[in-house]
Chain A
């Protein structure tokens, strides 16, 4: 089965494409079974389909990973029409098979409905969430069973590899990537072609290429879905990069918390090896390259390149100063080129279509598309791929569908714990590396967390500082001690024990951390604090001067009470209150005793009449 030449691969491709063509027009069920949809019950839906369809030869049941519209999972697409069903449960399966698959009829209740008009929308391409996206990288997930390399090949996979190995020199490949303007998608935004060039020119053997799939930013899961849904796009990029740099060994470093991604990449590597697309003398080119999966141990700091490399070596994830770059001295002191998952996935596209085509997408300084995870207080939670330069407003409102519950937008947090909060007045900012940095935030790996009027920005700052304090490796004084002291100050402020001097002190610590920390974890830790101070200073001052939390979040500063007009006296709140703080007769308005109330929020959770309020 080993492919020994480009011609072998092309023959395989023709067969795979013929198979694919044969299936067009035939009945099929395409299911999303990525981690997100699995969490929503996709595997039970899969089982139900398997039972219902049984051994029918005329129906193909296809497993894919991640179509992006995570809010609406589990997602099922019925072929050949391409009817897009959302929030499918096992109970719907029999009907789907009988009505849609067999009968060609659409089940309206399973369709996505336009939130404004109520119109049911049967096809993915018409759904507002998808309309403004440009799914160059991510769009293929829909057509690929990640456990079948042939699916990837049928779509043109490994064509770029042939071009790179047989029609281009390493220098030409590097030049092409440079001209494309591709910048690192992991957060740093460093020009990828330049990094490759430095590594190629570095002295030392052997050289290594690494895929950073640590994806530690909470709320960001683009890389997970890419690895789960289309692992070969990443592998192909790595082989091309390795060839350009002169590396024969590579690592895919996946965080421990992504078991399905680990599984699918491992399967993909095994299948690529079987075909000889990895290993010795790839396709008869004379170039050899092997790649291993390495699992992280659970440490955010291991997303930092030197900490990641220490982890590969079997050590604790402690960063080192990067006065000597990792492209010159990385793993075991050897030249190592590290790139993010999405960066690698862009490479085959650039090589296949060319830098000229690629560089037409995006802005002057940021070419191509970017995959973002749009999460938090947003209607359409999911993964989106958009051209660089689209505005935040378009993302939040046109793609994201705005804020649920009619609540007011407050901020969007980008760049994870290294980034910052962007307020309403900056929503027309184009999303690109430099613009976001100018606003005090950064693009980061792509997490976009939307916050509304019920999010307390002081609490958000406290949250990020607490997160980083826990994740800091603890080596250098400014980060280890600075984060702890900032956390203590912010905790005091959220408890109503803030002092006037706290804000200038926070700013002082931030400055020292920015200048004095050993690595980017400590160096960028000030960003969430400084941006919330910049754009939401009034909230800090309310906490400190008035002992008040405007968003109604900080426990010690709020009071739960029952709106007597809205209360129907149903008693649900009384029954769940762990502190027995609620009293009231049946059908009479209930009352919360503020002395006993522990502010756990249980009453608010169960009230069906929105009668429990917070002030």
Chain B
């Protein structure tokens, strides 16, 4: 496989060609903070925490390392003054947006921000959502149903289901909840029913152990997509493997 060699914070690292700077850094044990990034999902470049400073064509510029391709000979600095100012302001702004989120507080402390000078969102408006878009992208790319999406724009932007109604296309898989960095998307498994996005999903009962292990809708979706025979998911993964 072709590789590229670049320098990050003075350290020479190699990475597969086509990697982003962030991927190259993480593969080599260099930590660049990020909130809207997830390994299995396309990068988005929205939180701006992963900004790094590079020198290109003789001038220094800041780029989002989750999107910028790691090129041969690139010199990257992950923690310059300019970069830190952006990171800190981003966290100060997010702290005002989600003052009750432990995850945000921790990330803020990590980049050196203990408090925010901005007015905090009041509790009745605070849903802990930082609009990172991981849920939306996961639903679109990983699951493939696009049950949820963004709505509106600017400071009115939100993650929503069409018309704020329970999404018909949702299969109850909970992927959105798994990838959410602040845990603001939740679901509840109550015996034979999962409740998520205001809908109740019937859970599949394992024919062998009797455990309710996944929503029927999700299993049906996967079964059809993968062309598997009917009844394939009547037995839970644990029982199938044993």
Binding site for B on A (CB under 8 A): 299, 301, 316, 320-321, 323, 469-478, 480-485, 488, 501, 505, 508-509, 511-512, 515-518
Contacts and interface: CB of A to CB of B under 8 A. Distances in A.
B117 interface: yes
A477 B94 contact: yes
A84 B202 CA distance: 79
Contact of B155 (A483, A505, A511, A516): A483
Contact of B46 (A316, A323, A476, A485): A476
Interface string B135-157: 00000000000000010111111
B93 interface: yes
B206 interface: no
Nearest to A301: B153
30 contacts: A316-B150, A321-B64, A323-B63, A469-B155, A470-B154, A473-B153, A473-B154, A473-B157, A474-B153, A474-B155, A475-B46, A475-B133, A476-B45, A476-B47, A477-B46, A477-B47, A477-B94, A477-B130, A478-B90, A480-B154, A483-B155, A485-B93, A505-B117, A515-B51, A516-B51, A516-B86, A516-B90, A517-B48, A518-B45, A518-B46
Contacts of B240: none
A134 to B, nearest CB: 35
A501 B118 CA distance: 12
The dominant DSSP class at the A interface is: helix
B2 to A, nearest CB: 18
The 7 closest A-B pairs by CB, nearest first: A474-B157, A512-B89, A481-B93, A516-B86, A472-B154, A484-B155, A516-B48
A480 B96 contact: no
Nearest to A468: B154
Contacts of B117: 501, 505
Given A512-B90, A515-B86, A481 B155 contact: yes
Contact of B48 (A299, A301, A478): A478
Contact of A474 (B67, B93, B118, B152): B152
What is the interface residue range for chain B against chain A? Answer: 35 or more
Given A474-B131, A474-B150, 16 more contacts: A316-B150, A321-B45, A323-B68, A469-B154, A473-B153, A474-B156, A475-B46, A475-B157, A477-B90, A477-B94, A478-B86, A488-B119, A508-B89, A509-B89, A512-B88, A516-B86
B11 interface: no
Contacts of A512: 85-86, 88-90
A475 B150 CA distance: 10
B97 interface: yes
Contacts of B152: 474
A471 B154 contact: yes
A480 B64 contact: no
Interface in B85-107: 85-86, 88-90, 93-94, 96-97
B13 interface: no
A301 B153 CA distance: 10
Chain B CB within 10 Å — which of A478, A481, A508 has the most? A481
A71 B45 CA distance: 46
B156 A323 contact: no
